[in-house]
Amino acid sequence: MPEIDTNLLESKIPGLMAAFSGETFSVTDYRGDLMVVVPAARLREVVRFLKSHPSLPFEMMMDLFAMDYSKKLPETPERFAVIYQLYSVTAGRRVHLKVFLPEEKPEVESIHDLYAAANWFEREAWDLFGVVFVGHPHLIRILCHGDFVGHPLRKDYPSDQYQRLKNAAPVSGL
Amino acid sequence: MKQDLVSNPNSPAEDHHDVAFTTRLEDFINWGRKNSLWPLPFGTACCAIEYMSVVSSHYDVSRFGAEVVRFSPRQSDCILVLGTVVEKMGPILKQVYDQMLEPKWVIAVGVCASSGGFYRAYHVMQGIDEIVPVDVYVPGCPPTPEGIIFGLMKLQEKIAKGGIVRARDRYKLARK
């Protein structure tokens, strides 16, 4: 893990350290944008804090996606990760949040009620990686067809394992 | 015009109203079919953009009698599958094909429709001939408009020869 630079985090997002005292965030800086590794249990609180930040509100969720590192590495403490990209329209700044999720139980709380855009992104991450978003109102497949078994973008899914769909699904329940 | 013909001593026909030629009824019907194809563009990717060029004035597919593009399978007899067909789209393509009336032909335009192309992955059908009988494959990624017209001309040759119904029956037997 990279060194925790508290000064950097405080200068980029003032107040985050104070609001979550006792929590250690791992921070890296890439061309002025922060990548903050957040414990999965506190993700919702951090996102809510950033969304309603007094001077630096992150009003937009740009992207949400999962990663499969296939195994634990020194820089990746768990197999799965979910990355949230938030954008502040007023300040013109971005921040990336990353939560690591264990292979046995990849679960994180849903943020669909904070950002409506997260709804379909979370469905995509569940469909392709099998990450469960607790509290999501409609966590069903969004890209793969209804008869599909497994999560195809996991590293252990064989890339040439085709699954034939017999009948087209009715256009409903989107 | 008739006066000119009659007055010309070298003209082989004295009166061109009498000109007639014989053929088989099957050949005559096939000649009509091949020169009045009603295509249905099943466009899913960039090959469909190339097909737009084929239909518009520069390449002008109406020179081959196949410009009456219809988006209803009931009104068309030649389905052009233009692009990638994912597994989720497969049953839809099959349903559209089944709704077309006989006689009907299929052209797989581009490598995606023909073999899956570079999508050798979990989500793409490795060639539409897994679900529908293909008459002509057009290679290319995407094919040039000339390529699509060449494929159409190959289909015309095939229709003129007949035997397409027999080929489809063979396909059905093989799939049973």
pLDDT value at residue B5: 47
Most confident of A23-37, B1-15, B120-134: B120-134
Which 3 state secondary structure label does DSSP give A142? coil
> Between β-strands A107-109 and A132-134, what pairing exists: parallel, antiparallel or unpaired?
parallel
Which residue on chain A is closest to B120 by alpha carbon? A160
| Banded model confidence at residue B61, pLDDT cuts 50, 70, 90 | very high
Please tell me which of the candidates A152, A164, A168 has its beta carbon nearest to residue B92. Answer: A168
C-alpha A64/C-alpha A50 separation (Å) is: 15
Report the half-sphere exposure of A62 (CA within 13 A, side-chain side).
Answer: 13
Q: What percent of chain B has pLDDT over 90?
A: 57
pLDDT at residue B169, rounded to an integer: 62
A49 domain residue, yes or no:
yes
Predicted complex ipTM: 0.76
Report chain A residues touching chain B, CB-CB < 8 A: 143-145, 152, 157-168
Sign of torsion over alpha carbons A91, A120, B123, B151: negative
Characterize B124-140 residue by residue with b for buried, 16 or more Cβ atoms within 10 angstroms of its Cβ, and e for exposed: bbbbbbbbbbbbbbbeb
SS3 A61: strand
Predicted model pTM: 0.79
Q: Is A87 left (phi over 0), alpha (psi -120 to 50) or beta?
A: beta
Q: Is the pLDDT of residue B11 over 60?
A: no
Report if residue A152 sits inside a domain: no
Which three-class secondary structure state does DSSP give residue A51?
A: helix
DSSP annotation of A170 reads P
Alpha helices in chain A (DSSP H): 6-12, 16-19, 43-51, 118-129
Distance CA A65, CA A126 (A): 9
- Whether residue A26 lies inside any domain: the answer is yes
Span A41-56, pLDDT tens digits:
989 999 999 998 888 8
Per-residue pLDDT at B53: 93
Does some domain include residue A168?
Answer: no
CB B147 within 8 A of CB B114: no
Residues of A in contact with B87 (CB under 8 A): 145, 162-165
User: Which chain A residues are Cβ-neighbours of B126 within 8 angstroms?
Assistant: 162
Residues in A closer than 8 angstroms to B123, CB to CB, are 143-144, 152
Taking the Cβ of residue B95 and every Cβ of chain A, the question of whether any pair is shorter than 8 Å is answered with yes
Residue A164 placed within a domain: no
Q: What are phi and psi of A144, to 5 degrees?
A: -70, 160
Long-range contacts of A145-151 (CB under 8 A, 24+ apart): A145/A169, A145/B87, A145/B88, A151/A126, A151/A127
Answer whether residue B49 shows pLDDT above 80.
Answer: yes
B96 touches chain A (CB under 8 A): no
Q: Scanning every residue of chain B, which has its alpha carbon at the shortest distance from the alpha carbon of A161?
A: B122
CATH code of A56's domain? 3.30.460.80
Are the C-beta atoms of B80 and B109 separated by less than 8 Å? yes
> What is the DSSP code (8-state) at residue A17?
H
pLDDT at A1: 45
Is the predicted pLDDT of residue B170 greater than 80, yes or no?
no
Mean pLDDT across chain A: 86
Mean pLDDT over B26-31 rounds to 85
pLDDT at A127 (0 to 100): 94
The three-class DSSP label of residue B78 is: strand
pLDDT tens, A2-33? 455 567 777 778 777 777 777 777 888 888 78
Confidence band, pLDDT 50/70/90 cuts, at residue B136: very high
- pLDDT of residue A84 exceeding 90: yes
Considering the domain boundaries, does residue A139 fall inside one?
no
**DSSP label at residue B97:** H
When mean pLDDT is compared across A4-18, A62-76, B80-94, the lowest value belongs to: A4-18
pLDDT band at B9, cuts 50/70/90? low
- What strands lie across the sheet with A26-30, from one edge to the other? A26-30, A33-37, A93-101, A80-88, A60-68
Alpha-carbon span B96 to B87, nearest angstrom: 15
Fold of domain B38-175? Rossmann fold (3.40.50)
- Bigger pLDDT: A107 vs B1: A107
Q: Which domain holds residue A11?
A: 6-134
Q: Mean pLDDT lowest for which of A113-127, B12-26, B147-161? A: B12-26
Residues of A in contact with B91 (CB under 8 A): 165-168
Domain ranges of chain B: 38-175
Number of domain units in chain A: 1
Residues shown for chain A: 174
pLDDT at B168: 59
